[in-house]
Structure 1
Amino acid sequence: MFYLRLARGYRVLDLGRWLLTAAAAAVVAGFLLRALGRALSDPPGAHTAAERLLWCLPPLIAVGWFAAFAARALPAQRPERMTGLTAAGAGPSRLRLLIAGEIALACALGAVVTLLLFLVLRNYLAGPSLAPELGMGVPLPPAAPIALVTLLPLVGGVAAACAVPAVQGLPGRQDPLRAHRFGWPRITAAVLLTVGGTFAELYGLRPAAAYDPKPIGLPAGLGHTSALLLGGWAAAALGAALLLGPLLAGAGRLLALGRPSVRRLLAGRGLTSTARRLSAPLAVLAFTLAVVLTSVRHWVAPGADGAGPVPAAEALLVTGCAVAAAVARLTEIRAARRPVVDTLLRLGGSPRLLASAAVLRWAVAGLLLVATGGLTAVLGAAALG
């Protein structure tokens, strides 16, 4: 009853976030139920059921990632809701559980809709092409689809509960945007990983490299690669992801260096203060886009086997969840910066000046995102050959 009353006060942004979570959960539930249907249709002794379930792991993680960022952005977007719940007697732990329950309900709705569609299609409504995917003609164990569908609200609820800090849900106790410094151990480790992984991959690509007698077969028709190339690319990608936050903070300090104009000063200080919060979603977004673009380039290359509909759908879902998580973090940062913007406007700052500073800030962040993602994509394309 509480969530029904809560839904009556939904705005467009709240409804969009809730529907996006439900839609993503519905797609992942479709992947899980397809794996179940194929496991029922396969002959005894086939060892592909575990592989199909592993294919469902990336989109499941992507839905949990998006659920975490959507839940974390909710207290900043709707402070009046948090104020009302606190006035009604809800403490920090209760607020976390309420937010996690809202996300879990969205995931449960999407999963139940997919389960109903799966059961309807299994009732001999699907064509012969979909019969192996649904396991038609084979008795369906009742516990199997229920366990798979229950997994989605569990992952979404746990991710949401872990993402919201206990003190952030209280009004007036939101963490202000401060310029956090990145420690030298992290920067040094990120640089070493990036440089070491790049040199390892270049060493594996040298003309005199020996033929690898045990190549690693990649899934989704991506061909083969060697352990050195794959390990070098993974290390360089991890290093580039860890390096994005310090690069954002360093770019903000460079913008405000010397005797900057007001626009440069506002853009630099704003970029430095948001570097830590932006680093994780932007790094995951850059890595996801790099992997997806590298895979698409390999699939459309002449002579390639291409990819089936399932890898393409999973790539689209993972990319959408990464983009949605980045947008959720941006809305959270915008809500946290609202008091600062109001103060600047009261002091005489023009909206045009603030808008130009924001454009400069996001232009620099976009260039760094393209640089790190481009490096990851180039190294991934070289590893796939």
Structure 2
Amino acid sequence: MFYLRLARGYRVPDLGRWLLTALAAAVVAAFLLRSLGRALSEPIGGADALVRLLWCLPPLAAVAWFAAVAARSVPARRPERLAGLTAAGAGSRRIRTLIAGEVALACTLGSVLTLLLFLVLRNDIAGPSLAPDLGMGVPLPAAAPVTLLALVPLTAGIAAACSVPVAETLPGGRTRGRTGFGPLRIAVPIGLVVIGAALELIALRPGAPADGRPIHLPAGLGTTSTAALGGWAAGALGLALLTGPLLAWTGRLLAVGRPTPLRLLAGRGLTAQAPRLGPPLAVLTLVLALVLTTVRYWIGTPNRADALPAVEACLVLGCAAAAVLARLAEVRTDRREVTEALLRLGTSPRLLFGAVALRTLAVGTTLLLTGGATAALAAAGLR
């Protein structure tokens, strides 16, 4: 009943976030039920069932990531809701539990709708092409779909609960993080990038394909070597971790010397927002680079494309983009007081719009460099 009353006060962004969470959970539930149907249709003891279940982990992790970022943005974007809950006697831990429960409820709704569709299609409605995916003709254990579908709201709810610090769930209790990066936060990513580049060079040396045992990649991506795969993994992780510091350095570069008001506002704003914008933008850039590399490989080698990885890639990419939008909305809400103060001081709205445009251009340039390097490392390891 509490969540029904809470939904009555939803605005369009809140309703969109809730519906996107339910839709993503429904797609992940479809992947899990498909793996269950395939396992029922095949002989007992096959190893393919475990492989198909492992394919469900990337979209499940993407939904949990989106739920965590969206839940973290609720206290900043809806302080009046939290003020009312606090006045009613709810503490910080109680509020965090309520936010996680809202996310879990949305995931439960999406999973239940998918389960109902799965059961309806199993009732001799689906055609022969879908029969193996649904496990038609084989009795369905009641505990199997319930156990699998419980993973979606449970994972998303735990991720949402862990993403919101207790100090940030109370009105006026938001803590300002540091805008800089320590030496360790910079040395580790640079070391990973160097190690990844060195492994890639080892894998690309003459005669390297004859060394070792090739690794067969999923989704029809051919084979690669251990050095190439390890080099891409280390390099991609290093570039992802380096996205935040690069954004901060780009902001300082914009404000270097004797900057104009436009450069000063854009540079200082980007430097302050880099620690919070870095993680979601890094995830989005990594996923997009991997998707583009896969599509390029499929185009170069016809009849190698696979529909299931393509659908999963679209879901992961959508969750990453939605997480970036949620973080941008959170940052915009936090900067509202600063923007209003600048307007009261007589700052031109055109100047503020120009600063936002300059920041966007700087961020896009930085992500183009990191994403291009990630895609280059991935393309070099495929053969």
TM class by shorter chain equals: over 0.9
Structure 2: 5+ residue stretches without partners: none
For 1:310 and 1:283, locate their aligned partners in 2 and report how far apart those are by CA, in whole Å. Answer: 24
Aligned ranges 1:65-214 → 2 under 5 Å: 65-176=65-176, 180-209=179-208, 211-214=210-213
Aligned ranges 1:214-293 → 2 under 5 Å: 214-293=213-292
Asked whether the 8 Å contact 1:179–1:274 carries over to 2, the reply is no
1:317-372 deviation line (CA, Å, top 9, x unaligned): 00001111111111111111111101111111111111100110111011111110
Residue 204 of structure 1: how far off its partner (Å): 1.3
Residue 213 of structure 1: how far off its partner (Å): 4.1
Q: Percent identity?
A: 64
Structure 1: 5+ residue stretches without partners: none
Residue number among 303, 306, 309 corresponding to 1:311 in the alignment: 309
RMSD: 1.1
Residue 232 of structure 1: how far off its partner (Å): 0.8
Residue 173 of structure 1: how far off its partner (Å): 1.5
For 1:351 and 1:143, locate their aligned partners in 2 and report how far apart those are by CA, in whole Å. Answer: 59
For 1:201 and 1:351, locate their aligned partners in 2 and report how far apart those are by CA, in whole Å. Answer: 48
For 1:41 and 1:210, locate their aligned partners in 2 and report how far apart those are by CA, in whole Å. Answer: 39
Is residue 322 from structure 1 mapped to residue 320 from structure 2 by the alignment?
yes
Asked whether the 8 Å contact 2:209–2:225 carries over to 1, the reply is no
1:62-96 deviation line (CA, Å, top 9, x unaligned): 00000000000111111111111111111110110
TM-score, scaled to structure 1: 0.97
1:161-185 deviation line (CA, Å, top 9, x unaligned): 0001101111112234x65211112
Residue 207 of structure 1: how far off its partner (Å): 2.5
Q: Secondary structure in 2 aligned to 1:274?
A: helix
For 1:243 and 1:225, locate their aligned partners in 2 and report how far apart those are by CA, in whole Å. Answer: 26
Asked whether the 8 Å contact 1:193–1:235 carries over to 2, the reply is yes
Asked whether the 8 Å contact 1:179–1:272 carries over to 2, the reply is no
Q: Which amino acid aligns with 2:82?
A: M
- The equivalent of 2:348 in structure 1 is 350
Asked whether the 8 Å contact 1:281–1:325 carries over to 2, the reply is yes
Residue 201 of structure 1: how far off its partner (Å): 0.3
Asked whether the 8 Å contact 1:63–1:321 carries over to 2, the reply is yes
Is residue 298 from structure 1 mapped to residue 292 from structure 2 by the alignment?
no
Is residue 21 from structure 1 mapped to residue 27 from structure 2 by the alignment?
no
For 1:108 and 1:315, locate their aligned partners in 2 and report how far apart those are by CA, in whole Å. Answer: 22
- The equivalent of 2:61 in structure 1 is 61
Q: Which amino acid aligns with 1:243?
A: L
Q: Secondary structure in 2 aligned to 1:182?
A: coil
For 1:144 and 1:23, locate their aligned partners in 2 and report how far apart those are by CA, in whole Å. Answer: 22
Residue number among 333, 336, 339 corresponding to 1:335 in the alignment: 333
For 1:137 and 1:73, locate their aligned partners in 2 and report how far apart those are by CA, in whole Å. Answer: 46
For 1:25 and 1:159, locate their aligned partners in 2 and report how far apart those are by CA, in whole Å. Answer: 14
